[in-house]
């Protein structure tokens, strides 16, 4: 079976899912934690790595960034444009490519178990912040031309990290159940991975 059609279709679907994940609170206002709307982007990027593998997962994230870059409002707050890549939060967007890649790498290398999922999710989250935060520092200093130290940038991100950590790790616990049910409903998804 030529897998190319399936690969492209699944990657395209993840582009749309990322767009929905970024704005999930628009439809489910209930998904708010003490007033701050929750985005499921990091979680969806991790899922891209888990479900599509490292290569296709990263490819779908590149496509997501490209769709946003050419002006389709798929980023958070229904916004778009290349400007997002130089904004302070741009690094978090760019990091999704690597998040999907590393998560895919871990899942492909080890057997499926809740432990693997937890490790992969944690690595994904760390990738997100370790790329996003230094990028925020660079953007604030060289694009916005203000002065802020790298340490301060990390300190600012700590509460966000804790929030994301709790949500993402809690979601990781339900992952095995989630993936089993999903691949049962859509069998070709299981064969496209790898």
Which positions lie near other proteins, rule CB under 8 A?
Answer: 1-2, 4-6, 8-13, 15-17, 19-20, 23, 26-28, 30-31, 40, 59-60, 62-64, 66-67, 70-74, 77-83, 87, 144-148, 166-167, 170-171, 174, 177-178, 181-182, 185-186, 188-189
8-state DSSP, 30: T
Nearer to other proteins, 85 or 154 (CB): 85
φ and ψ at 116, to 5 degrees? -60, -45
Which token pair is 163?
Answer: 């929030």
Closest CB to other proteins among residues 109, 155: 155
- What minimum distance in Å lies between the beta carbon of 29 and other proteins? 9
Distance in Å, CB of 55 to other proteins, minimum: 10
Q: How far apart are CA 71 and CA 164, in angstroms?
A: 27
Please identify, using beta-carbon distances, which residue of 4 and 151 lies nearer to other proteins.
4
Provide the β-strand partners of residue 32.
37
Contact call for residues 30 and 68 (beta carbons, < 8 A): no
Report the candidate in 139, 26, 34 with the shortest Cα–Cα distance to residue 75: 26
Task: Between 40 and 120, name the residue whose CB sits nearer to other proteins.
Answer: 40
């Amino acid at each position: 079976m030529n897998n190319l059609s399936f690969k492209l279709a699944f990657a395209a679907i993840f582009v749309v899912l990322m767009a929905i994940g970024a704005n999930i609170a628009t439809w489910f206002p209930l998904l708010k934690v003490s007033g701050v709307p929750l985005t499921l982007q990091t979680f969806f990027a991790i899922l891209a790595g888990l479900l599509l593998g490292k290569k296709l997962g990263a490819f779908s994230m590149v496509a997501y960034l490209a769709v946003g870059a050419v002006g389709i409002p798929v980023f958070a707050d229904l916004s778009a444009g290349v400007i997002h890549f130089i904004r302070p939060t741009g690094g978090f967007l760019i990091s999704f490519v690597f998040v999907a890649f590393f998560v895919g790498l871990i899942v492909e290398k080890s057997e499926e178990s809740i432990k693997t999922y937890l490790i992969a999710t944690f690595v994904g989250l760390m990738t997100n912040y370790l790329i996003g935060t230094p990028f925020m520092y660079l953007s604030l200093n060289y694009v916005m031309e203000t002065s802020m130290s790298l340490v301060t940038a990390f300190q600012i991100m700590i509460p966000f990290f804790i929030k994301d950590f709790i949500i993402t790790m809690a979601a990781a616990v339900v992952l095995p159940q989630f993936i089993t049910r999903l691949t049962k409903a859509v069998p070709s998804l299981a064969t496209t991975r790898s």
